[in-house]
Structure 1
Amino acid sequence: MNNAPASPSFRPLYEQIKVLITQSLIAGEWRPGEAIPSEMELAARFKVSQGTVRKAVDELAAENILVRRQGKGTYVATHNEEHTKLRFLRLTAADGKKELLENQLLECNRGKATAEMARQLGLKTGASIIEVKRLLSFSGKPVILDHIIIPAAPFKGLNGSKIQDNNGSMYSMYETQYGIRMVRAEERLKAIAADEASAQLLGVAVGTPLLRIERVSCTYGDKPMEWRLGLCVTEEHHYRNELE
C-alpha cells in the first residue's frame, strides 16, 4: 500500500483501507450520489486483495456512508434522495401513516459559541455560529420545535432566505449547497414539561409532557457539524428506532 496513514500494527488491513476510502470522501474525490471505483480498481489502487476492499466497503455500507446498488455498483450515500432525506428524523405517526412535513422558520441569527456549544461542536468559545429555530408540523399540526446551531465558517452565506428557499431537509441543503454530508448522529432523549414559550409555539398547555431530543451530527471523520435540540409533542406520535 502506498501513502497509508501511520497506524498501529494491530489494525486489520481492511480497516486501513476503510480509513483511506474515508479520506478520499473527506477530500471530495467522490461526491454524494456518485459511484466510487469498483472493488477491483480499489484493490489495484491500494495494492491489496479484492476481498480486503470488499470488507472495508461492507463496513462503510453498514454505516450508511456508502450504498450498494445491485448490478450498478457502489455509491456515496446522500441525503438528497427521497428515502434518505429524513434519515435522522425518528418521530412517526402512532398509526403508521405517512404525513406531510412542513417547516416554518422562526429565527436565523448569527452569534458566538458558548463554552458548552464550543465543546459540543469542537470549536473555540466565542467562535462564530449560526442559530436556527424552526417549527415542524405534521399534516398541519405543530409537532417539533427545532433549535439548531452550526459553526458559521463551513456554512458561509447561510441565512434565513436560503433556509426558506430550501424548505426541506437541512441535511440535504448542507450537502447540496455546502458539500457537507452528515453521516452519523448521536442522540440523548429525555422527558420534560412544556414551558410557556414552547407550549405557545406547539399549541399545547403549559406542563404538557414533551420528548426532548438532543442531537450532535457529524460529517466524515467524526467531525461534529451540528447541534440540534428538538422538543416533540408525542400525543399522536412516537420515537421509532431499529436496532440490529
Structure 2
Amino acid sequence: MSFPSTPVTDTPPTAPAQGPAFSPLYQQIKGLILQGLEAGEWRPGELIPSEMELAARFRVSQGTVRKAIDELAAENLVMRRQGKGTFVATHAAQQVQYRFLKLQPDVGDLREEGRAQRQIIDCKRLRAPAEVARLLALRSGDAVMQVRRVLAFAGVPTILEEIWLPGQAFKGLTAEQMGSYQGPTYAMFELEYGVRMVRADEKIRAVLPDAEQAELLAVSNSTPLLSVERVAYTYNDVPMELRRGLYRTDTHHYRNALN
C-alpha cells in the first residue's frame, strides 16, 4: 500500500488560523498504522514492524511511534508480546477468544465449560429488511446473510442467536462452515473473509420468549430471558455484524468488567 509522499516529522507544520482541530503527531501515526491494518498489510496474528522500523518509515521519533502503538494496544487492535514484538490482535488468540461473549456460568469459568456446541438452524441469503440495513449502514434491499443458531454448554441450550452480515463481504457463507469451524466465529470471519471485528455496541433488556424461542432453548414461554442486541464494527467504525441473542440466565449471568 502507499502512504503520503510528504514526510511526517516530529515538528508538525504551523496550523492555519482557521480549519480543523490540530491532530497530535502520534495520532497521525496511529492513523497511518490503522490504514495498514485496514488494507491488510499486516494480517490478524502477524508481527508488525518494530517501533524503530516504523519510526524510520514515517520519519518520526521512536517515542512518537510508541505512543501510537500504546493507544492501539489499549484498544485491543494490537498485542505486545515481551521479547517478541507487537502483533495484530486476533480473535483466535486464547486471551481474547471470549472478549465479546459476556455470558459466564454461575459456578466456574466459561473456559472450563469447554467449547459451545453449535446447532445451526438456518443460513440463508436475503434482502436486508429496513431496520437491519440501517444498523449495518446498507441500503434497504441490499443482500445480507442471516444465520440462526443455538449455542449449548454442557449439552444445555443456553443462547439463541440471529446474526446478520453484509452479503458482499460474506458471500459464500454456508451453514456447514458456521457449524463445523472449531474456533471462535470471529476468528473464522478473519481467516475466511478478511473481516476483523474490533469493537461492539450492545443493548440489553429482559424479554419473554415466543413459542419457537422457548422450544429451541428448552424453557417455558414464561421464562425471562436476557435479550442482547450487538452491532460489531471493523476498522474505521464500519458496521459488519448485527447479532441478536436471547440468553438463559438460570445457570449463567452477564458479566462486564468496567475500567
TM-score of the two chains, using structure 1 as the length reference = 0.95
Alignment gaps of 5+ in structure 2? 9-18
Residue identity matched to 1:163: M
Equivalent in the alignment of 2:15: none
Distance apart, 1:3 and its partner CA: 4.4
- Please say if residues 211 and 234 of structure 1, whose CA atoms lie closer than 8 Å, have aligned partners that are also in contact: yes
Distance 2:213 2:254 in 1: 19
Residue identity matched to 1:203: A
Distance apart, 1:48 and its partner CA: 1.2
Equivalent in the alignment of 1:113: 128
The 5 A counterparts of 1:121-140 are: 121-140=136-155
Equivalent in the alignment of 2:87: 75
**Moved runs in structure 1, 4+ residues, more than 3 A?**
1-5
1:17 to 29, 36, 41: 29
1:170 to 182, 185, 195: 185
Post-superposition Cα deviations, 1:1-28, rounded to whole Å, max 9, x if no partner, equal 94479x9351111111111100000111
Distance apart, 1:167 and its partner CA: 4.5
1:99 to 113, 125, 149: 113
Equivalent in the alignment of 1:197: 212
Distance 1:163 1:79 in 2: 16
The 5 A counterparts of 1:179-198 are: 179-198=194-213
- Name which one, 1 or 2, has greater alpha-carbon Rg: 2
Distance 1:21 1:183 in 2: 15
- Please say if residues 195 and 207 of structure 1, whose CA atoms lie closer than 8 Å, have aligned partners that are also in contact: no
Equivalent in the alignment of 1:145: 160
Equivalent in the alignment of 2:223: 208
Distance apart, 1:226 and its partner CA: 0.3
The 5 A counterparts of 1:83-94 are: 83-94=95-106
Provide the aligned C-alpha RMSD in A: 1.7
Equivalent in the alignment of 1:217: 232
Residue identity matched to 2:113: E
The 5 A counterparts of 1:24-63 are: 24-63=36-75
Distance 2:218 2:246 in 1: 12
Give the total of aligned pairs: 243
- Please say if residues 18 and 56 of structure 1, whose CA atoms lie closer than 8 Å, have aligned partners that are also in contact: yes
Distance apart, 1:169 and its partner CA: 2.1
Equivalent in the alignment of 2:255: 240
Residue identity matched to 2:122: E
Distance apart, 1:237 and its partner CA: 0.6
Distance apart, 1:176 and its partner CA: 0.7
Distance 1:47 1:171 in 2: 35
Alignment gaps of 5+ in structure 1? none
Equivalent in the alignment of 2:171: 156
Equivalent in the alignment of 2:11: none
